[in-house]
Amino acid sequence: MSTLIAIPVYNEAAHVRSVIERIREYTGQILVIDDGSTDGTPGILNDLRRPMGLDIIQHGVNAGYGQSLIDAFRRAQRDRYDWVITMDCDDQHEPERLPEFFAKIQDDTHDIISGSRYLDLDAPSDAAPEDRRSINMQITTELNDRLELTLTDGFCGFKAHRVSAMNKLDLKETGYAFPMEFWVQAVANGLRISEIPVDLIYNDLSRTFGGGLDVPAERLRHYRCVMHRTLDQYASMLPDEAYADINADCLG
C-alpha cells in the first residue's frame, strides 16, 4: 500500500532538517506543509526539496494546524495514496516509530491508527505540562463518553489515515481544535479506529498556542464548543449519548 508522510511545519528551522533526514531513512514519500513560517524554515525546505524529493505546500500566511492536515489529506487523495501518516516536526514524534505504523497498516483492519502517548504507562516519558495533560484527559474522556470510544489520547497528531476513509469526512476546522471535529466525523461515518503507543516527549515547554488559547480555561472552552457544534451537526448519525447535555451556548 502506498503511504505518504505529511508534516505540518511552522517556524521549525531548528528541527526540520534532522526530522526529514530521519524520515528519509524509512521512505521517500514526504509532504511538508509549511504553514507560513517566518524563520529560516522556507530556505531549509527549498535546499532539501530536490535532494530529498520533497513535495511542499507553502501557505503564504499562517492558516492553522487543522488547515495543514486538511491540505495533506487532499494532496494524498490527489496523488492516489492509500494512506497518509501525519506527524509533527518538533522532535515530539519520532520517525523511528514509522515501521510500527507501516506494520499496522498492513493488517488492513482499521481506517485510523492513532498514536497514543498514554497507552503504555510504563514507557519512559518527558512530563507534559500539567494544563495540557489535564485538558487532554478531560476532552478524551468526554469524546469517549459521547462517541462510545476507548481513546487514551485524543490529541496526538502522530496518526495513520486511510485516504479513502478521509474522503468521507467534511473537515473545516483550521485550528488546534481540529481533533474535535475529526473524531466526531470519524464516528459518524463509521470509521474503524485503533491506537498504538508512541513516546511522550516535550522538548520545549515554552511553546504557545496563540489567539487566546494559552489561557487553559479558554482553550478548554474552545475545544468543547467545536466538539459540541460538530456533535449537533451530526446528531442523527451518532449514538444517543453523544447529544446529552450539549452546551447550547456553543451552538450559535
- Closest by CA to 88, choosing from 162, 6, 30, is 6
Cα–Cα distance measured from residue 60 to residue 37, given in angstroms and rounded to the nearest whole number: 9
pLDDT range class, residue 199, cuts 50, 70, 90 = confident
Q: To the nearest whole number, what is the mean pLDDT of the chain?
A: 91
The yes-or-no verdict on residue 232 having pLDDT over 80 is: yes
Instruction: Identify the DSSP state of 126.
Output: P
The DSSP-derived string for 44-57 is HHHHHHHHHT-EEE
The yes-or-no verdict on residue 248 having pLDDT over 80 is: no
| Domain 3-208 in CATH 3.90.550.10 | yes
Instruction: Identify the DSSP state of 80.
Output: T
The yes-or-no verdict on residue 13 having pLDDT over 80 is: yes
- Closest by CA to 69, choosing from 48, 84, 49, 54, is 84
Cα–Cα distance measured from residue 118 to residue 120, given in angstroms and rounded to the nearest whole number: 6
pLDDT tens for 79-131 read 999 999 999 987 678 899 999 999 999 999 999 999 998 886 655 455 666 77
What are the two backbone dihedrals, phi and then psi, of residue 77, each rounded to the nearest 5 degrees? -65, -45
In the block, cell 522556507 appears at 42
User: How far is the CA of 70 from the CAs of 6, 14, 96, 145, 163, in angstroms?
Assistant: 11, 25, 25, 26, 12
12-16, 77-81, 242-246 — which is least confidently predicted? 242-246
Cα–Cα distance measured from residue 19 to residue 89, given in angstroms and rounded to the nearest whole number: 6
The DSSP-derived string for 143-195 is HHHHHT---S-S----EEEEHHHHTT------STTHHHHHHHHHHHTT--EEE
What's the pTM value of the predicted model, to 2 decimals? 0.93
